[in-house]
Amino acid sequence: MNGYLDFLGGRNGLVGLLVLAALILLVFPLTMGVDQLSLAGRFLSFGFVAAGLVLCWGYGGILSLGQGIFFGIGGYCIAMFLKLEASTPEATAIQTTPGIPDFMDWNRITELPWFWEPFNSLTLTLIAIIVLPALFAYVIGIAMFKRRVSGVYFAIITQALVVILTILLVAQQGYTGGANGITDLRTLKGWDINTDEAMVTLYFVTAFLLLGVILFGKWLLHSKFGRILIAMRDREDRVRFSGYDVANFKAFVFCVAAVFSAIGGAMFTLQEGFMSPTLIGIIPSIEFVIFAAVGGRLSLIGAVYGAMAIGFARIAFAEAYPELWLFLMGAVFIVVVLFLPYGLAGLYEKYAPKVRAFLPSRTARAATSRESTEVRS
Amino acid sequence: MSSNTDFLLAVEDLTVSFDGFKAIDGLNFYMDEKELRVVIGPNGAGKTTLLDLICGKTKATNGSIKFRGKELTRLPEHRIVWEGVGRKFQTPSVYDSLTVRDNLEVSYPKGRGVWGALAFKRDTALQEKTQEIAESVMLKDSLDLEAGQLSHGQKQWLEIGMLLMQDPALLMLDEPIAGMSAREREQTADLLKRLAGKHSIIVIEHDMNFVKQIGRKVTVLHQGAILAEGDMDQVQSDQRVIDVYLGH
Amino acid sequence: MGDFTTQELMAILAMQGFAGLSLFSVLLLMALGLAIIYGQMRVINMAHGEFMVIGAYATYLFSTFITAQMPGMLDYYLILAIPFAFLAAFVVGWIVEFLLIRHLYHRPLDTLLATWGLALIMQQAFRSGFGAREVSVRLPDWLQGSYRPTMMIDIPINGLAIMVLTILVTAGVAWLLYKSRWGLRVRCTTTNREMAGAVGINTRNVDRLTFALGCGIAGIAGAAFTTISSTGPTSGSLYIVDTFLVVVFGGAGSLLGTVASAFTIAQGQSILDFFIGGSMGKVITLLIVVAILMIRPEGLFASKVRR
């Protein structure tokens, strides 16, 4: 493996990727029913967020407890588009103001708010799914990283932003659908998204996009940018005094993680058929982190397994022993932090030394997780 | 006062206070191109603080630092590096989880922006430069080792090598031989002498033998100000310097 | 605000101000414990809200016991319930420190995740033990009703009472930290752990005691909480984000800053609540706090240390 495929991490990196591709593109579709496959598709959507966290938390040392914000931006953007498509004047003829989403009518809004207008266009919606989270992450990132806010402070502030966003969404129900969120999504450009066939198609779109995102992440880590990320985590000051503007690098990786999350949010919404504040609040936001931690905070591929493992475990337990699930989930947080700092990928590394498939390079794997704990160094 | 553009580095009336404590107090300090200068002084004299101020790690309360006529006190750290100032820290500061080669390459002054770093490609110029510098800092056999596995002395060399990758006009070395064996000290002294013709260098050091080995002009700092300046013999026979070191 | 006369406006401000004092008290008591723990060992305790709930349930148990066994004591039981709540949270804190926290010192981001897991476990334990429904304690008669200094101002007594409690606890913490022998040890350890160990301070014990004490104070917050609201398994998690903001906004490690910041955040919310509603009041307050933190990350009162 040399030349332009180097970034996959040599032969082993390629094998790891192929195994994942085979699993989600062949094994799942062949062995699962539509319902289960669609469930798997939703877990894969969480995989986008977890993969983003591997980049910004595992490699960049930036723990964001606010990924729900970006997941939500992606989800709400596509939901707004679908909702407008569903709210034709004919379909909403019984409303006081036909042609606007039902929840607006219930809240006595008589005109589509200006910020809903762009979501009449699919092109603008798709652009918004990429640009809005990047822009928002950039503003937060630059504001905080230029002032050397990192570590715990960054985590707490991102968590506060999640709280602010969810309260705002619930409070402004005339514009956002409130606590119920945006529901009753039916068609995408006339294509019914609730049929079995659509579920399978959406699953494959999600799976391919996820593989694309992982490839992009691997390429990023393999570039000089990736080495600078590791260098920053090791010795931030040294990087600064080698002539790099550290804040820009951190802001960029935070943006990348945000865009990953937004793509995941959009794919999730398409498969779930609605988007609501509870899907993006404090609890989901911190669960995204545990997906990445379970999978292995230094492994993009591991992050996907982490999201799926917890997703399927939750389904299994929530049916059989609902009251045990929270105990188990709590234990997972503790066990991963205390005993498995590199997650499933770390276990694999340890017990299958001959097949080194999960991580992009030797150096990255050996990286210790040094956390920056101070506001200012 | 001569026009300070004649100097490579002109520090004038520099003051920094931490909650009223003046670590550097009205300091004037000048350096020529290609000069090797040793700064000595008892603990707490302000030596490291002086370097912190020049490289922007600490912001001055007052005064100016001009480098090739350009004011540094308002520039952020990375811009000061771009101007050609390199800094080695007191405790060797290398990237433990990267290889020696990666350590050197990351310090190469190309691809310093986000997009530049994404588009960056290893070219032959970089590979040659890495080889050359690894050789000069005695690490050419360790290029593929992780930096964390190097000895303390080797890490010091690696950090000097990382500075050299940046090709700085001014090298600032904070205690470069701390933790080195006698043989390593000799090698470091030779290295500094070789570098002296090509770069300006400020060295902070406690070890007087080492200072004598490399030293030409010596500056003695005491309580944030310059106590004496001159060659080693002059300085050592200066009564005030003797008083300070003997603790009168 | 044009619809109100100046006099009305003053009365509204005064009443909302006093209403905010209850929130202020709970936030401050929570934040005190959190700040002490973070300051001492850089541990972010996401389960801090659950320690408050332990205090609240302890108060509830105590009140049920008194109602059943010695109804004559009902007027005074709260005074005894407070140390009981403290002790309950203190003991659990002690055990948690031993089992979990001590393995995570100086890995703040990891403590954050592990204690979140702990919070989930504790919430489920509350649910299994006390049921999902909220419980409330019986308030003594003297805590009910309100005090009316003028026709327009109406101040609930229970709010005043927990205010007094908060002042006492804050003064107690200040005394412990700055005047007692233990406080000296804590401050030594915070400033320079190695040196503290070298001069014979058992830093392990100081850590454990500090963590347990921080949890104990959260327990007192829980006792106070029962007088203004009913308690459910997830009551604590409603306060955790606000409490963290209080600590960060105040400038971690500054007692005065914590007090000032709890006051600002609670009053901001309470006064805005009247004009634009609870949710938007909270959104605006939190947004302003986050915006200030982005401009001034060191918080209101930061200690200047040469680094």
Q: What is the CATH number of the domain that holds B220?
A: 3.40.50.300
CB contact under 8 A, C297 and A375: yes
Interface predicted TM-score (ipTM) of this complex, two decimals: 0.89
C-alpha torsion sign, points A92, A98, A102, A106: negative
Q: Which domain holds residue A195?
A: 10-366
Has residue C69 been placed in a domain?
yes
B86 touches chain A (CB under 8 A): yes
pLDDT at A68: 97
- C109 to A336: CB separation less than 8 angstroms, yes or no: no
Measured between beta carbons, which residues in chain B are less than 8 angstroms from residue A238? 89, 93-95, 159, 162
- Tell me, yes or no, whether C270 lies in a domain: yes
Residue B30: beta bridge partners?
Answer: B10
**pLDDT band at residue B164 using 50, 70 and 90 as cut-offs:** very high
Residue of C42, C101, C110, C237 for testing the chain A interface, max A β-carbons within 10 Å: C110
CA distance B157 to B178: 11
Residue-number span of the structural domain to which C289 is assigned: 16-295
Which residues, including other chains, have CB under 8 Å from residue C79's CB and lie 6 or more apart? none
At A317, which helix (H) or strand (E)?
A: helix A300-320
The model's confidence at residue C305, banded by pLDDT at 50, 70 and 90, is very low
Q: Confidence class of residue B155 from pLDDT cuts 50, 70 and 90?
A: very high
Q: What is the model's pLDDT at position B230?
A: 87
**Quick one: pLDDT at residue A367?**
42
pLDDT above 90: residue C91: yes
| Residue A170, token pair as written in the block | 């619930």
Report residue C2's pLDDT band, with 50, 70 and 90 as the boundaries. low
C120 contacts A338? CB cut-off 8 A: no
Facing residue for A326 by CB, picked from C104, C124, C289: C124
Residue A170 pLDDT: 95
Determine the Cα–Cα distance for residues B171 and B155; give it in Å rounded to an integer: 17
pLDDT tens across the length of chain A (377 residues): 345 567 777 677 788 899 999 999 999 999 999 999 999 999 999 999 999 999 999 999 999 999 999 999 999 999 999 999 999 998 888 998 898 999 999 999 999 999 999 999 999 999 999 999 999 999 999 988 988 887 888 999 999 999 999 999 999 999 999 999 999 999 999 899 999 999 999 999 999 999 999 999 999 999 999 999 999 988 899 999 999 999 999 999 999 999 999 999 999 999 999 999 999 999 999 999 999 999 999 999 999 999 999 999 999 888 888 888 889 999 999 999 999 988 888 888 788 765 444 445 444 444 433 333 333 32
d(CA B160, CA B92): 9
Interface of A with B (CB under 8 A): 220, 223-225, 227-228, 230-231, 234-235, 237-246, 248-249, 252, 363-364, 366-368
Tokens of B33: 């191109």
| CA nearest to C34, candidates C26, C23, C45, C25 | C45
Q: Compute CA C162 distance to the chain's CA centroid, rounded to the nearest angstrom.
A: 12
Residue A202, domain member (yes or no): yes
Q: What is the DSSP letter of A5?
A: G
DSSP states along B153-205:
HHHHHHHHHHHHHT--SEEEEESTTTT--HHHHHHHHHHHHHHHTTSEEEEE-
Note whether A331 contacts C121, CB cutoff 8 Å: yes
Of C106, C241, C289, the CB nearest to A282: C241
| Cα C79 to Cα C76: distance, rounded to the nearest angstrom | 6
SS3 A4: helix
- B23–chain C Cβ distance below 8 A for any pair: yes
A333 to C117: CB separation less than 8 angstroms, yes or no: yes
The number of C-alpha atoms within 13 Å of A4 and in the hemisphere containing its C-beta is: 0
Distance from CA of A272 to the nearest CA of C (A): 26
pLDDT at B210: 86
Domains of chain B: total = 1
**Residues of chain A positioned with their CB less than 8 A from the CB of B146:** 363, 366
Assigned domain for A375 exists:
no
What is the mean predicted confidence (pLDDT) over C251-275?
Answer: 86
Nearest CA in chain B to A368: B97
Please give the average per-residue pLDDT across B52-75, as a whole number.
91
On the question of pLDDT at B218 being above 70, the answer is yes
Whole-number pLDDT of residue C186: 81
- Contact call for C294 and A371, based on CB within 8 A: no
Residue A363: what pLDDT? 44
pLDDT on residue C251:
80
Q: Which of residues A376 and B215 earns the better pLDDT score?
A: B215
- Give per-residue pLDDT as tens, C186-223: 888 877 777 888 887 888 888 899 999 999 999 999 99
- CA atoms of B108 and B112, how far apart (whole Å): 9
Interface test with C, best of A337, A340, A368 (most C CBs within 10 A): A337
**CA C276, CA C293: separation in Å to the nearest integer?**
23
Q: What is the DSSP string of chain C?
A: -TTS-HHHHHHHHHHHHHHHHHHHHHHHHHHHHHHHHHHHH----TTHHHHHHHHHHHHHHHHHHHHHH-GGGGGTHHHHHHHHHHHHHHHHHHHHHHHTGGGGTT-HHHHHHHHHHHHHHHHHHHHHHH-SS-B-PPPPGGGSSEE-SSSS--EEHHHHHHHHHHHHHHHHHHHHHHTSHHHHHHHHHHH-HHHHHHTT--HHHHHHHHHHHHHHHHHHHHHHHHHHS-B-TTTTHHHHHHHHHHHHHH-TT-HHHHHHHHHHHHHHHHHHHHHH-HHHHHHHHHHHHHHHHHH-TT-SSPPP---
User: Does residue C78 fall inside a structural domain?
Assistant: yes
Reduced to 3 states (helix: H, G, I; strand: E, B; else coil), residue A59 is helix
- Structural domains in chain C (count): 1
Return residues 58-117 of C near A (CB < 8 Å): 100, 103-104, 106-110, 112-114, 116-117
**Choice between B155 and C10, residue whose per-residue pLDDT is larger:** B155
Assigned domain for C304 exists? no
Which two three-digit tokens encode residue B56?
A: 């922007």
Q: Is residue B227 part of a domain?
A: yes
Treating both helix axes as pointing N-terminal to C-terminal, what angle do C237-250 and C108-130 enclose, rounded to 10 degrees?
150
Q: What pLDDT is stored for residue B50 in this prediction? A: 93
Contact check, Cβ <8 Å, C298/A282: no
Beta bridge partners, B221, equal: B226
Residue A376 or residue C61, greater confidence: C61
Does some domain include residue C88? yes
A neighbours by CB contacts (3+ pairs under 8 Å) = B, C
In Å, what is the CA distance from C180 to each residue of B178, C36, C177, C194?
A: 42, 15, 6, 21
For the domain that residue C141 is a member of, what is the CATH number? 1.10.3470
Contact C79, C217 (CB under 8 A): no
Per-residue model confidence as pLDDT tens digits over B109-119: 888 899 989 98
For residue B5, the model assigns a pLDDT of 59
Is the overall model pTM greater than 0.80, yes or no?
yes
C240-275: buried (b, 16+ CB within 10 Å) or exposed (e) per residue? bbbbbbbbbbbbbbbbebbbbbbbbbbbbbbbbbee
Q: Which residue segment(s) compose the domain that B141 sits in?
A: 9-246
3 state SS of A321: coil
Find, in chain B, the residue whose alpha carbon is nearest to that of A224: B117
Residue A195 lies in a domain: yes
Q: How far apart are CA A302 and CA A286, in angstroms?
A: 17
Angle at A104 between CA A102 and CA A106, to 5 degrees: 70
- DSSP three-state, residue B94: coil
**pLDDT given at position C307:** 36
Does the beta carbon of C133 lie under 8 angstroms from any beta carbon of chain B? no
Q: Taking a C-beta distance cutoff of 8 angstroms, is the pair A328, A317 a contact?
A: yes
Chain C positions in Cβ-Cβ contact with residue B19 (cut-off 8 Å): 304, 306
Coil, helix or strand for B97?
Answer: coil
In a domain? residue C301? no
Best to test chain A binding among B80, B106, B133, B163 (most A CBs inside 10 Å): B106
Mean local confidence (pLDDT), C28-50: 90
CB A297 within 8 A of CB A57: yes
Task: Tell me the chain B residues in contact with residue C302 when contact means C-beta distances shorter than 8 Å.
Answer: none
- Predicted local distance difference test score (pLDDT) of residue B1: 45
> What number of other Cβ atoms are within 10 A of residue B169's Cβ?
18
The number of folded domains in chain A is 1
For B75-89, write each residue's pLDDT tens digit. Answer: 999 999 999 999 999
Who contacts C10 (Cβ-Cβ below 8 Å, separation ≥6)?
none
Would you say residue C115 lies in a domain? yes
C104 and A337: CB-CB below 8 Å? Answer: yes
Indicate the residue of C121, C241, C289 with minimum beta-carbon distance to A326.
C121
Give the chain B residue nearest A377 (alpha carbons): B57
CA-CA-CA-CA dihedral for C205, C201, C30, C130, to nearest 10: 10
For residue B146, tell me if it sits in a domain: yes
> Which pLDDT score is estimated for C303?
52
Q: Are A71 and A51 in contact (CB under 8 A)?
A: no
Could you tell me which of A172, A151, A150 has the C-alpha nearest to residue A76?
Answer: A172
Vertex C266 angle, CA C257 and A160, to 5°:
80
Neighbours of chain C (3+ CB pairs under 8 A): A, B
- With contacts defined as CB-CB under 8 Å, which chain C residues touch B44? none
Instruction: List the structure tokens of C133.
Output: 């429904």
| C303: nearest CA partner in chain B | B19
Contact across the interface for A366 and B146, Cβ inside 8 Å = yes
> Is residue C306 a part of any domain in this protein?
no
Q: How many residues does this entry show for chain A?
A: 377
Q: What confidence score (pLDDT) does residue C252 get? A: 66
**CA A32 to each of CA A35, A40, A205: distance values in angstroms, whole numbers, following the listed order:** 8, 9, 17
**What was the pLDDT predicted at A353?**
63
- Alpha-carbon distance of B57 to A28, in angstroms, equals 54
How big is chain B, counted in residues?
248
Separation in Å, CA of C291 to nearest CA in chain A:
9
What's residue A351's pLDDT?
80
Encoded tokens for B195? 């570098």
